[in-house]
Amino acid sequence: MGGGGRGLRSPSLAQRQALGAWGVLFLDQPVGGPRMHLLGAVTGAVVSVLVAWPLAAAAEISPGRQAKLRDMVDQDCGSCHGMTRQGGLGSPLLQEDLVKLSAEAVVETILEGRPGTPMPPWKFMLSREEAAWIAAYLMGELK
């Protein structure tokens, strides 16, 4: 172990390349104490980004693409979920139903579909950002 007996572990070159700067900074910390504080700070930052992610992604979609996505929700989603989104072949897509789910769960359902049901994956036609925009739109976070 490197670090002159202070309990530090010197990461290998492969570890440094795989982990990048944050991972190396983490590995270069003593076990416990600062290492755990750093892990908590990084974890907190990641959670903050993930919570804000759907709205941030929605802001990056151009107005023209947003109009096309609204039409897609009305036409393509509406063909199974009902033109008023009250359900049909697919489950209802009303705000009061979707509020029970996380935005990420809605995004994953859009992208991956629901195996064993008629809900297809849309990942071949939509980016993650577009799926996040649709999720925010359906959940009432966008107009």
What's 62-138's CATH class? Answer: mainly alpha
Alpha-carbon span 94 to 140, nearest angstrom: 9
pLDDT at residue 17, as a whole number: 57
Name which residue leads in pLDDT, 104 or 19: 104
Map out the domains of the chain as residue ranges. 13-58, 62-138
Burial class for 132, CB neighbours closer than 10 Å (0-12, 13-18, 19+): buried
pTM, to two decimals? 0.59
pLDDT at residue 142, as a whole number: 79
With beta carbons less than 8 A apart as the criterion, state whether 1 and 10 touch: yes
pLDDT tens readout for residues 53-108: 444 554 589 999 999 999 999 999 999 999 999 999 999 999 999 989 999 999 99
User: Which of 82, 99, 85 has the alpha carbon at shortest distance from 139?
Assistant: 99
With beta carbons less than 8 A apart as the criterion, state whether 110 and 126 touch: yes
Amino acid identity of 12? Answer: S
Q: Which residues contact residue 24 at a Cβ distance below 8 angstroms, ignoring those fewer than 6 apart?
A: 11, 15, 16
